[in-house]
Structure 1
Amino acid sequence: MSSDTVPLQTVSRAFEVLDLLEREREAGPAKIAALMEVNRSTAHDYLVSLESTGFVVKNDGKYRISYRFLQRGSRLKYRNRFFKSSEIVLGKLSEQSGELAQLGLEESGEWVMVHEEGDVTSVQTGTYPGFRTPIHTHAAGKVLLANLPDARIDELLDVEKLEPVTEHTVTNPAELRTELEAIRERGYAIDHEEQVVGIGFVACPVVEDEELLGSVSVACPTGRLQQDDYRENLVQDVRAAAEEISVNYRFY
């Protein structure tokens, strides 16, 4: 389908139903009809059709998303060469730094979390495999944005104001461009509470043979990240992990 082709409405609406079921956790035809502003029979048809695919299940008159999505997502993840090259390294990074380590990549102008290692109870980032956020909203995304082709950067930043996640998110495109230049020069990014209040991130890009694979990062409480020696140690740990992942990817 070419870029200017109008998507089939039935397909678009089916995914709208899935989004609503994800948000509501479960719902019946009446609720879906009200949320979509369609009649009940139309909502029922969508739900029954989705149930027939196995991606939606029905229980006591209500529908929810099935675990087939988990199956497909897990298969996608474990077939991914970047993830396979990183899994052991990410565990070592978390153990060495004592912080939550994360692996991510860029898709459609967003940072997508592929995997994380560490004690998620000590740092509540609210992330999970498949979590997505605008690429400009924290260090792990900014190191990717900084290393994208200039034309792609212009495309993503050609707005008057960027979407904020917290009050600390950089939303001025000109200010962000200046920061991206500094990130490219030093080879890593740091943010303080731009994605999660109370949490900061240190991130490095993973590049192999001039191909931007993704980013590796650690998340920790902002107070620790503001300590100069601690921050520098994290930068070195993350940089070393990115280099090791790159080597693994080369020979995987």
Structure 2
Amino acid sequence: MDETDPQTVGAVETTFAVIGVLQDRGGAGVTEIANELDLSKSAVHKHLATLVDQRCVVQRGDEYRLGLGLFQYGSFVRNGYDVFHKAKPRVRELAEETGEMVWLIVEENGMAMYLFGDGGSLDINVDSLVGTWTHLHLNSGGKAILSQFSEERVREIVDEHGLPRRTARTITDVDELLAELERTRDRGYALNLEEDLTGIHAIGAPIVHREEVQGALSIAGAANRLTEERCHDEYADRLLTAVNDLELNLTYR
């Protein structure tokens, strides 16, 4: 591991790296973590012992797993977002109306996080995505959020996080992205036409309160069902109505 950045604390970075391995693997032993991070077993054990003491990791025999102590912190953070509380009923209503997946997405430090979701009539475990990060340019909600930023801020985000390709349709050129964001601002919503996952389309709109973007709502579904035409002709009005109602609730809370 690289712990040479003078602006960071190496021990803290190592702790979060250990947490990352446990998250990715669903649990691991000391040797497995040490090999993954190129650390000594004794160093890994010290970090794990500290995390266990703080109830952020639990030990089962020789295996360590993430603990509910982390859930406590995550729940506290999510509950601090007023848009989370206000958006939940709108997300559920849209999912019931459309039968499709509906998401509340927020931005932090130039990345998007799925803060809340409902799978509609689909047999999908939305909890597997809640709390995960993704690049803003990859999905409709993220592009909707980016459309509210200045060109300078968009370029800063691209410089920091890049424009990684997920499918053949992913936007990977910053000028193409800026043109797409201009179209998004003009019509009030963004489209994701198989740019994140092949076979999936989505439409997203920004949530703006007091001239600041609070996040975005998006509807996602199978491309053969949620066609580009239906996004424009049917789902756009539903989505924008839900967002407008949500913005009013944020204003008159």
- Same fold judged by TM-score > 0.5? yes
Taking the aligned partners of 1:249 and 1:154, their CA distance within structure 2 comes to 29
Could you give the per-residue CA deviations for residues 199-251 of structure 1, whole angstroms, max 9, x where no partner exists?
11111111122111110010011112326246421111100011011001111
TM-score under structure 1 normalisation?
0.91
Which residue number corresponds to residue 242 of structure 1? 243
Question: Aligned AA for 1:245?
Answer: L
Paired residue secondary structure (1:241) = helix
Structure 2: how far apart are the matches of 1:5 and 1:41? 24
Question: After superposition, where does 1:1-252 map in structure 2 within 5 Å?
Answer: 6-119=7-120, 121-122=122-123, 128-158=129-159, 162-226=163-227, 228-229=229-230, 231-252=232-253
Name the CA distance, whole Å, in 1 between partners of 2:121 and 2:159: 35
Q: Secondary structure at the match of 1:225?
A: coil
CA distance 1:8–1:161, change in 2 (3 Å): closer
Between 1:156-165 and 1:235-244, the stretch displaced more is: 156-165
1:32-58 superposed Cα distances (whole Å, 9 cap, x missing partner): 111111221111111112111110111
Shift of residue 79, structure 1, vs aligned partner = 3.5
Note the alpha carbon deviations across 1:75-101, whole angstroms, 9 max, x for none: 322332111111111111111222111
Q: TM-score, normalised by structure 2?
A: 0.91
Quick one: percent identity of the two aligned structures?
A: 27
Residues 165, 194 of structure 1: 8 Å contact kept = yes
Q: Which moved more, 1:115-124 or 1:24-33?
A: 115-124
Per the alignment, do residues 125 and 191 of structure 1 end up closer, same or farther by CA in structure 2, a change over 3 Å counting? Answer: farther
Distance 2:77 2:161 in 1: 35
Output the amino acid matched with 1:108.
Answer: N
User: How many residues are aligned here?
Assistant: 249
**Superposition CA RMSD, Å:** 2.2
Distance 1:5 1:251, change over 3 A: farther
2:54 and 2:225 map into 1 onto residues whose CA distance is 48
Q: Which runs of 5+ in 1 are unaligned?
A: none
- Equivalent pair of 1:224/1:230 in contact (CA under 8 Å): no
